[in-house]
């Protein structure tokens, strides 16, 4: 396996997250979580570093599923489908269970769940596209 593919996919997901949680939904996310600017900045390096590491782990899992297909069958769209499917079937229910017990809002679930589906689809697309 080419580990560079995993890193590239994680970078793509990380960059998507930057836009998702700043330009698109930053203020709404902050309001729903109750996290202040100061709290968000506290331990930022560790948060970003561990998040990136976990994205590499997720990329490994998505790549594992994608690799059940022949290289010539792997396209960006096909990989994005698998990433999205994994997010919908495993990620969203797991996050949903946690949010129910933590009494988190539906709005926060939609923001975070939407990002999960988007970045897993992006990861899958990138991973499959890099097979050529």
Residue numbers in the chain where pLDDT is lower than 70: 1, 132
What pTM does this model have?
Answer: 0.92
Amino acid 37: pLDDT: 87
Amino acid 55: pLDDT: 97
Amino acid 1: pLDDT: 54
61-70 b/e (C-beta count within 10 Å ≥ 16 → b): ebbeebeeee
CB 79 within 8 Å of CB 117? no
């Amino acid at each position: 396996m080419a580990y560079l593919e995993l890193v590239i996919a994680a970078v793509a997901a990380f960059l998507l997250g930057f836009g998702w949680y700043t330009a698109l939904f930053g203020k709404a996310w902050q309001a729903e979580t109750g996290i202040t600017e100061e709290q968000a900045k506290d331990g930022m390096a560790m948060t970003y570093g561990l998040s990136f590491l976990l994205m590499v782990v997720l990329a490994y899992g998505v790549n594992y599923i994608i690799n059940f297909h022949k290289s010539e069958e792997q396209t960006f769209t096909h990989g994005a489908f698998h990433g999205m499917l994994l997010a919908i079937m495993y990620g969203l229910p797991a996050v949903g269970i946690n949010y129910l017990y933590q009494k988190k809002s539906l709005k926060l679930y939609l923001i975070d769940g939407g990002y999960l589906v988007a970045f897993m689809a992006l990861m899958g697309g990138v991973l499959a596209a890099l097979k050529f």
